[in-house]
């Protein structure tokens, strides 16, 4: 029986203080691959992404540009949303934290924390990094090259003195420690050890409101205070499900997918807020690695900032998606370059998979007038190929994707594609046309079935190309899932009036960009 249980996946919500960069695209695509894979498995999926619009960072950027924060957020949030659309990211909701339902949800969780006796007024005196929107203890700071104080992330910090609401984070120390030690809650394991060490050294209460600016969610019943931006930002995961009204069965979230720099917020602050508000905790938090441009961090001063939408326009959405999942072990840092994208796309999508489909379908169109070949008895080589492909689509690929070993999943798919290529070379259907037309038909039918199965299995990664190929193959919508494409659909389809017409290349050959040539 297919597992139809709910699966709620979220990305971090991005600061729209500028346009999206490749790191944002990477996270959105990875989340989309996971969401699409779960749908393919038959799960009921809800997928949320969006923009995190409050806080000092947004307020200061707007001030620099002589505009209101709302105006800056409106413009930039639009770029994030259109990036998701351009990259085929299949979100159910794109949330903006400036939306009224989000203010309502944030005030509700605040009141729930207050009702638990976890909020009190005091004076905050300490270090704050606007870039990280984070408070740091003096002991965490590092020294910059000029002797200045920097956050552990290397960003500037400023001394802040303010009247502020505090959250009793210290009260949750033991529960948080137990949570962090729960297998499967936080992955990869390297991030877990870091968080455990942070909690073990003792948690201080957290300043959760600001009075020096007003760009945020108003603290209920406390004139002049807006919520610390992370309090409202994290609450977005509830807003999207209708909190404080009935959230249906998608909460607790199945997976918060975030980058490694914001693990502390998601595995310490967020669970503590939820414990205080008496809400269930997310099941799984995964902190992915950072994507670097030829090994370097992108920055405006280095002039190496890449617009992910331009990258997709240049190389193709699916080539970019495939590259990002294939190139980097999920969880670790990785690097990209135009050359590397072109090489993977041409070699693996174009030569290995695209050509396999092109050769097989072209041959059917030309020599069988497009009629699907009949299966006329199997030989050992055919059975061996079916077994190899089935092992990939029924076991290796789903297991890897389920465990978020996305790169391994793609590798398992590619191995099965290679097996098909070895089969077509060994069976050489073009030599059978005159010598043994019946055997030729069986070979082509075998390939046809394997190609359809592999197209379905890789559809989370390259959705548009897979759909195009499955259209050419004539695979009906209800078979475009892992169970469907493993069932006995071929004979009825072969007996239908579906015809293969001369297929267009799925992955046109990419050229290396001039500047790199």
Nearer to ligand ME8, 13 or 485 (CB): 13
Nearer to ligand ME8, 155 or 367 (CB): 155
Instruction: Verify binding: residue 194, ligand ME8, rule CB under 6 A.
Output: no
Instruction: Verify binding: residue 24, ligand ME8, rule CB under 6 A.
Output: yes
Least separation in angstroms between CB 202 and ligand ME8: 25
Distance (Å, whole) CA 428 – CA 431: 6
Nearer to ligand ME8, 262 or 349 (CB): 262
Q: Which of 4, 5, 46, 9 is nearest to 285 (CA)?
A: 9
Instruction: Verify binding: residue 52, ligand ME8, rule CB under 6 A.
Output: yes
Tell me how many residues contact ligand ME8 (CB under 6 A): 18
DSSP secondary structure string for all residues of 360-401: HHHHHHHHSTTBPPPP----HHHHHHHHHHHHIIIIIHHHHH
DSSP secondary structure string for all residues of 108-134: HHHHHHHHTT-EEEEEEEEEEETTTTE
CA atoms within 13 A on the CB side of 95: 26
Least separation in angstroms between CB 12 and ligand ME8: 3
DSSP secondary structure string for all residues of 27-90: HHHHHHHHHHHHHHTT-EEEEEEEE---SHHHHHHHHHTTS-HHHHHHHHHHHHHHHHHHTT--
Distance (Å, whole) CA 462 – CA 256: 22
Instruction: Verify binding: residue 34, ligand ME8, rule CB under 6 A.
Output: no
Residue pair 418/389 in contact by the 8 Å Cβ criterion: no
Distance (Å, whole) CA 170 – CA 179: 15
Residue pair 360/454 in contact by the 8 Å Cβ criterion: no
Query: Which listed range, 19-27, 154-162, 460-468, 480-488, lies at the site for ligand ME8 (CB under 6 A)?
Result: 19-27
Instruction: Verify binding: residue 269, ligand ME8, rule CB under 6 A.
Output: no
Query: Which listed range, 22-30, 244-252, 310-318, 424-432, lies at the site for ligand ME8 (CB under 6 A)?
Result: 22-30
Residue pair 338/512 in contact by the 8 Å Cβ criterion: yes
Nearer to ligand ME8, 54 or 225 (CB): 54
Nearer to ligand ME8, 19 or 498 (CB): 19
Identified binder of ligand ME8 from the candidate list 262, 414, 443, 482, rule CB under 6 A: 262
Residue pair 304/298 in contact by the 8 Å Cβ criterion: yes
Nearer to ligand ME8, 221 or 295 (CB): 295
x/- track of binding to ligand ME8 for residues 226-245 (CB under 6 A):
-------xx-x---------
Nearer to ligand ME8, 17 or 453 (CB): 17
Instruction: Verify binding: residue 489, ligand ME8, rule CB under 6 A.
Output: no
Instruction: Verify binding: residue 268, ligand ME8, rule CB under 6 A.
Output: no
Which residues have CB under 8 Å from 439's CB, separation 6+? 376, 379, 432
For the chain, the straight-line distance linking the first and the last C-alpha, in angstroms and rounded, comes to 52
Instruction: Verify binding: residue 94, ligand ME8, rule CB under 6 A.
Output: no
Nearer to ligand ME8, 328 or 393 (CB): 328
Least separation in angstroms between CB 131 and ligand ME8: 9
Query: Which listed range, 18-26, 321-329, 344-352, 436-444, lies at the site for ligand ME8 (CB under 6 A)?
Result: 18-26
Nearer to ligand ME8, 254 or 453 (CB): 254
Query: Which listed range, 208-216, 219-227, 253-261, 379-387, lies at the site for ligand ME8 (CB under 6 A)?
Result: 253-261
Instruction: Verify binding: residue 349, ligand ME8, rule CB under 6 A.
Output: no
Nearer to ligand ME8, 282 or 409 (CB): 282
x/- track of binding to ligand ME8 for residues 140-159 (CB under 6 A):
--------------------
- The number of beta carbons lying within 10 Å of the beta carbon of residue 145 is 6
Least separation in angstroms between CB 278 and ligand ME8: 20
Q: Identify any residues that bridge with 126 across adjacent strands, giving them in sequence order.
A: 160
Strand residues in 222-288 grouped as ranges (E): 226-227, 255-259, 285-288
- The number of beta carbons lying within 10 Å of the beta carbon of residue 261 is 15
Residue pair 209/219 in contact by the 8 Å Cβ criterion: yes
The binding site for ligand ME8 (CB under 6 A) comprises 12-15, 23-24, 26-27, 52, 233-234, 236, 258-259, 261-262, 290-291
């Amino acid at each position: 029986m297919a597992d139809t249980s709910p699966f709620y996946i979220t990305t971090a919500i991005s600061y729209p203080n500028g346009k999206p960069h490749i790191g944002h695209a990477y996270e959105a695509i990875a989340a989309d691959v996971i969401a699409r894979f779960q749908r393919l498995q038959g799960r009921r999926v809800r997928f949320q992404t969006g923009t995190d619009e409050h806080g000092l960072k947004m307020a200061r950027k707007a001030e620099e540009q002589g505009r209101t924060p709302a105006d800056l957020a409106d413009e930039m949030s639009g770029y994030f949303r259109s990036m998701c659309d351009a990259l085929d990211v299949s979100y159910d909701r794109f949330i903006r934290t400036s939306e009224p339902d989000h203010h309502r949800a944030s005030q509700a969780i605040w009141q729930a924390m207050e009702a638990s006796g976890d909020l009190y007024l005091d004076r905050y005196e300490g270090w704050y990094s606007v870039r990280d929107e984070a408070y740091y203890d003096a002991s965490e700071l590092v020294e910059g090259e000029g002797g200045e104080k920097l956050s552990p992330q290397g960003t500037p910090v400023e001394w802040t003195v303010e009247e502020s609401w505090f959250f009793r984070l210290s009260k949750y120390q033991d529960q948080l420690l137990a949570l962090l030690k729960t297998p499967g809650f936080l992955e990869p394991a390297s991030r877990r050890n870091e968080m455990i060490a942070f909690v073990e050294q003792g948690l201080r209460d957290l300043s959760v409101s600001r009075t020096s600016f007003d760009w945020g969610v108003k603290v209920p019943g406390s004139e002049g205070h807006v919520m610390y931006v992370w309090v409202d930002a994290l609450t977005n995961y509830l807003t999207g499900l209708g909190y404080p009204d009935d959230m249906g069965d998608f909460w607790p979230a199945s997976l918060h997918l975030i980058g490694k720099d914001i693990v502390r917020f998601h595995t310490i602050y967020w669970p503590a807020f939820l414990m205080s508000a008496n809400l269930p905790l997310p099941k799984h938090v995964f902190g992915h690695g950072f994507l670097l441009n030829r090994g370097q961090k992108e920055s405006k001063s280095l002039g190496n900032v890449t617009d992910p939408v331009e990258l997709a326009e240049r190389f193709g959405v699916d080539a970019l998606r495939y590259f990002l999942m294939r190139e980097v072990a999920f969880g670790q840092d990785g690097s990209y370059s135009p050359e590397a994208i072109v090489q993977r796309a041409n070699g693996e999508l174009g030569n290995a998979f695209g050509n396999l489909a092109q050769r097989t379908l072209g041959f059917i169109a030309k020599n069988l007038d497009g009629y699907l070949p009949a299966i006329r008895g199997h030989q050992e080589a055919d059975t061996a190929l079916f077994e190899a492909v089935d092992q990939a689509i029924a076991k290796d690929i789903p297991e890897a994707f389920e465990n978020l070993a996305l790169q391994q999943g793609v590798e398992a798919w590619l191995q099965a594609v290679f097996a098909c290529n070895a089969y077509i070379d060994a069976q050489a259907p073009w030599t059978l046309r005159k010598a043994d037309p019946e055997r030729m038909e069986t070979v082509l039918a075998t390939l046809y079935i394997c190609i359809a199965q592999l197209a379905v299995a890789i559809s989370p990664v390259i959705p548009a190309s897979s759909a195009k190929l499955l259209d050419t193959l004539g695979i009906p919508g209800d078979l475009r899932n892992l169970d469907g494409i493993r069932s006995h659909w071929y004979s009825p389809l072969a007996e239908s009036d579906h015809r293969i017409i001369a297929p267009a290349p799925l992955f046109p050959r990419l050229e290396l960009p001039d500047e790199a040539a």
